Structures are given as structure tokens and as C-alpha cells.
Amino acid sequence: MKAVVTGNEMKAIDTYTIQEMGIPSLVLMERAALSMVCRMKERIDRADRILCICGAGNNGGDGVAVARILFGQGYSAAIYMAGNPEKWTEETKKQIQIARNVGVPEYNELDLTHIRVLVDGLFGIGLSKTVREPYHTLIEKVNQWRGRRKERQVWAVDVPSGLSSDTGQPLGCVLKADYTVTFGYMKRGIILYPGRELAGKCFVENIGFPGKSLQVHPSAGFTCHVQDFEQLPKRKNDSNKGTYGKILVIAGSKNMSGAAYFAGRSAFVVGAGLVRILTPEANRVILQSQLPQAMISVWEETDRDSLANMLAWADTLVIGPGIGTSEIMAQRLKSVFAGSQCPIVLDADGLNLLAEHEEWYSLLNGRTILTPHMGEMSRLTGCSIDELKADRGKAALKLARERQIICVLKDSSTVVSDGKHLYFNQTGNHGMATGGSGDVLAGVIGGLSGAGEGLFKAAYMGVFLHGSAGDAAAARFGFRGMTSVEIIEGLIEILKN
Ligand SMILES: NC(=O)C1=CN([C@@H]2O[C@H](COP(=O)(O)OP(=O)(O)OC[C@H]3O[C@@H](n4cnc5c(N)ncnc54)[C@H](OP(=O)(O)O)[C@@H]3O)[C@@H](O)[C@H]2O)[C@@H](O)CC1
Ligand SMILES: Nc1ncnc2c1ncn2[C@@H]1O[C@H](COP(=O)(O)OP(=O)(O)O)[C@@H](O)[C@H]1O
Ligand SMILES: [K+]
């Protein structure tokens, strides 16, 4: 797991490293610039004209140092100081002095005529509020210059200028990058859309922040990488089907058997020992033939006692895919919530019904994972989708904290919160915007929870795994060709490896 920080969290780590650990600010800046130059050299030519646009803050200081190091190595690099000289920080002043001593060319006006590579050191994590003039016009001018011309490159220092490092939203306008080299730790704004797109390919560079700085100023956010597959529950030789969890999937309605199939099959694929699907009679034959490994129960034959038995049998309930929002289903759900004690993964129409029955939260808190997409989240919270997208992390954290549940806020950039921590997902792709994809996720999380994972871990590992499965599916079948069936194939493939 790797930390994902806000601008303020990063500033606290910066300050602690400089003031308490005694690593001078200029040393960090030199390492930042060096790491950026190393990345750039993999992708630029010696003949390229490079211009570093630098603001008054330390992001500008980094930019000046990048120009000086490239110039020193024989590259044709120059500086354009865009910030107000009265606002130059001490570090930036020093960097300019060094660059002038060394003889790095300096532009007095922005002239992009022969430039091929542009380094954006205008604003980093110090940007606050909407970008003011004259910087707004400057950013638009650079974006126009870049246009769609593939031979031109823009490299952002730390974060693309104009991007909120906390939310991934543009603060008025953003200087769009092809590459971003970010220092210390990944920033939230670079993972969350539209920031992820605006940042281009991102490199996270360790520039010497001691681990202690993060321990003293821990970040609330984190993400997972390939090596975190190690965290999945281990299987034992000396085990049986009861060892890996019994999942009761309450899903499907007439003409919606697929939702039950996807959730049930996915729970099996992540390793569940036993899966029972509770669904209307109309789905019985379909599911028995499509998913014979599952046990099927139907609502029409379920009375109070048999429901109580099913609920007592289950280690985890997955509820909601394709159930509809009828009054009879609302009554059934209420009895399920009141009659069960195990963890619940609540998805789709289960969430839509919950939005209409706030009083159910008292039956759910402390043991439930909610998996809303933006529309369902809007119904649950009363906030508009635009408000939610403005700060996804905050929205997930707030719902989780207020309702004492785990919130999986699904989107192109999914976030998961337990009310204290925030997981930022980096796996998955637009090929997953396909019917049934969310049902697969509900089954995956249910399967992990049934195998004994804690709720929060089941939720974020489930999201990580589901996105990785989508990436495997895209690699094999392409973004258009992949459907939820192929996402499950992807799951099988990555879990095998
Ligand atoms: N600490 C360290 O030693 C290290 C720091 N590092 C680097 O420092 C960066 C952070 O530097 P920072 O804190 O100086 O802020 P920075 O991003 O340059 O922005 C401040 C400037 O922007 C301006 N400005 C702000 N809002 C604005 C607006 N809306 N519209 C217009 N202008 C606006 C603001 O002007 P002001 O608002 O004060 O008038 C000020 O001039 C960080 O991202 C990383 O690159 C690394 O080298 C590692 C070591
Ligand atoms: N552009 C995208 N990039 C990454 N993941 C995506 C994208 N679009 C959708 N997804 C993922 O696919 C799933 C879709 O879930 P949902 O909207 O509930 O679908 P359905 O209701 O069809 O099952 C979510 O996990 C979401 O994060
Ligand atoms: K920048």
C-alpha cells in the first residue's frame, strides 16, 4: 500500500522533514529537479528546445533547477519567470541566482515558437482558489500551443498547474500535461478524474522524505499496487468448502437473472466455498442451468423460518443487484436486515430502497458495505452528482462517518472509505462501463468478506481486484468487446497468476 496525500498533508511532511529532520529545503529541491530530469531524458532529444515556465513559489524553484540541470548537461533549456518577483520564495530566489550564475538563458516574454518541450513549474501544491490573471491567459496560451500536436511535450512539476491536488478538479483552468513527475507521495488530485487525464502519465519520485515524516504526519489516503495481491486471504491445504465462506446473494427479479448470476459467480471466483442465491421463481431454471455450482432458493417458497435459516447459515449477504424497488421487496429487505447479524454488501436497488428508508441505517451500521455509483450516491445523500464529483473523497468519507458504514463510491475513479481512511483506486478502465460490471464487484466484495476479511479491507481489495480484472479483460478482449462476462474471465486470470 502506498500513501496518497492532499496538498496540506504533503506540506506538513515537507515542513517536518525540513524543520525537524534537518534536511534543507534546497536539498529536497535539487533531488526533485534531478529526478524529473532523469525521467525527461528517457523521452526527450538533445536537439529539443526546452522552456521551463516558472512561478514565484517553490514549484517555480523546482522548474528553474530543472532548467539549470538540463542546461548543464548540454540540453537547450531556457527559463521564463512568470511569477511576480516580489513574491519569489527564498528558495526560488536562490535557484534563479544559481541559474543566472551558470548562464541559463532567460526569456523576458513568453515565446513558444521553436519550443518542443515545455516544463510547467507555475503552481504546485501551493495553489489556492481559482487561478488568477495573468496566469489564466498564460495557461490557455500554452494549452493552445500544445493542441493535438503529438511531437510537443508538456511536463508538469509535481502537479499540473491549475489542478486541485486534493480533488482532481480544475481551479479555473489547468495546464494539461503529457507527463507529471510528483514528489514524495502520490497526490489525490492526480488519481481522481479529471485530474488523472490532465496529468498524463505520472511518476512518483522518492526525493528523500524520511519514513518518519509520514509516520508523524500520516495521510488518510492510500492506494494499492500489484504487490498488494499478497494481501488476499491465503488458502490452506487442510481446508474444506466451509473454510472459505458461505455467501447468500439476494439478487435478481423477473427478467433480471443476470444480476444474480454475475454476483453469485464472482463470489465463487474469488474463492467462496458455498453460494446460495435467493431470487424469484422466474429465475430458478435459468440460474440452475447457468450457475449449477450455486444453490438456488426462491422467494415464493420462502417463509419466515426458512429465511431465518438462510440468514443464520450465511457468513456474508450480498443484497440488491437487480431486485427492483417494489413495496414487497422493501418489506423483504427489512426482514432480512432485522433478522441477520453478519456483514452485508448492499448494492444497486438495495441502495435505492435504503434511500427511501433512512430508519434502516440503525439495522445496518457497523456491518455494512454500501456500493453506490454516483446516481445512487446522489439519492442516498441528497447531493447532486456535480457536488459529489467536486470532491469524491469528502463525499465517501462523510457518508461512511455519518452512517457508520463502509462506502464504496463507484466511478471512473472509485474511492472507498471507512469514515477515517480513504482508498483511491487506480485500476480499471472505461471498458468496465458495461451492464453487470457493478454486480460483479458486489460479488467480489461479498466473496472476500465471506472468506473472513474485515469489512474495509474486503471493500478496497475488492475494488482493486475488480479493476485489475477489468484491465486484464481489456488487454485480452479490448475495451469495446469486453463485457461483464469477460471481467469475470479477467478475475480468473489474475487470481491464477
Ligand atoms: N517545501 C519544499 O522545500 C519543497 C517543495 N517542493 C515544491 O514546492 C511546491 C510547493 O511550493 P509552494 O508552497 O511555494 O507553492 P507553489 O505550488 O509554488 O504555489 C505558490 C505560488 O502560487 C501562487 N498562487 C497560489 N494560488 C494562486 C492563484 N489562485 N492564482 C495565482 N497565483 C496563485 C502564490 O502566489 P500568492 O497567492 O502567494 O500571491 C505563490 O506564488 C511543490 O508543489 C513542489 O513543486 C519540492 O521542491 C520539494 C521541496
Ligand atoms: N471509466 C471507468 N473506469 C474505471 N472503472 C469504471 C469506469 N466505468 C465504470 N467503471 C466501474 O464499473 C462498475 C460499474 O458499476 P455499476 O454502475 O453499478 O454497473 P452496473 O449497474 O451495470 O452493474 C463500477 O465498479 C465502476 O467503478
Ligand atoms: K506545476
Q: What is the pLDDT of residue 233?
A: 84
Indicate if the pLDDT at residue 148 is higher than 90.
no
What are the pLDDT digits (tens) for 364-375?
999 999 999 999
Query: Distance, CA 111 to ligand 1 centroid (Å)?
Result: 23
At 8, phi and psi to the nearest 5? -70, -40
Q: CA–CA separation, 168 vs 197, rounded Å?
A: 9
In Å, how far from its chain's centre is CA 423? 7
In degrees, rounded to 5, the angle at the alpha carbon of residue 205 between the alpha carbons of residues 201 and 210 is 155
| DSSP summary character for residue 294 | S
Q: What is the pLDDT of residue 278?
A: 98
Task: Label residues 204-213 b or e (16+ Cβ within 10 Å = b).
Answer: bbebbbeeeb
Taking residues 36-64, what's their average pLDDT?
97
Indicate if the pLDDT at residue 470 is higher than 90.
yes
- Ligand minimally distant from the alpha carbon of residue 95: 1
Q: CA–CA separation, 89 vs 402, rounded Å?
A: 41
Q: CA–CA separation, 210 vs 223, rounded Å?
A: 19
Indicate if the pLDDT at residue 3 is higher than 90.
yes
Quick one: cell of 44?
526527450
Interface confidence (ipTM) of the complex: 0.96
Using most ligand atoms within 8 A of CB, pick from 127, 187, 213 the residue to mutate for ligand 1: 127
Q: CA–CA separation, 449 vs 497, rounded Å?
A: 21
**Strand blocks (E) in 255-320:** 274-279, 295-298, 316-319
Q: CA–CA separation, 471 vs 469, rounded Å?
A: 5
Whether ligand 2 lies within 6 angstroms of the CB of 404 is answered as no
Domains and CATH numbers, the chain: 24-219 (3.40.50.10260), 227-496 (3.40.1190.20)
CB 474 within 8 A of CB 482: yes
Taking residues 62-68, what's their average pLDDT?
98
Using most ligand atoms within 8 A of CB, pick from 249, 266, 410 the residue to mutate for ligand 2: 410
Ramachandran class of 171: left when φ > 0, alpha when ψ lies in -120 to 50, beta otherwise: beta
What are the pLDDT digits (tens) for 417-450?
999 999 999 999 999 999 999 999 999 999 999 9
Residue 439 is assigned to a ligand binding site: yes
Whether ligand 2 lies within 6 angstroms of the CB of 264 is answered as no
Residue 381 is assigned to a ligand binding site: no
CA neighbor of 392 nearest in space, from 414, 418, 369: 414
Taking residues 299-328, what's their average pLDDT?
98
Query: Distance, CA 332 to ligand 1 centroid (Å)?
Result: 56
Q: What is the percent of the chain with per-residue pLDDT over 90, rounded to a whole number?
A: 97
Using most ligand atoms within 8 A of CB, pick from 58, 94, 213 the residue to mutate for ligand 1: 58
| Cα Dmax for the chain | 86
Label residue 11 by pLDDT band (50, 70, 90).
very high
Strand order in the sheet with 179-183: 106-107, 76-81, 49-54, 117-121, 153-157, 179-183, 201-205
Taking residues 319-344, what's their average pLDDT?
98
Taking residues 278-306, what's their average pLDDT?
97
Residue 11 is assigned to a ligand binding site: no
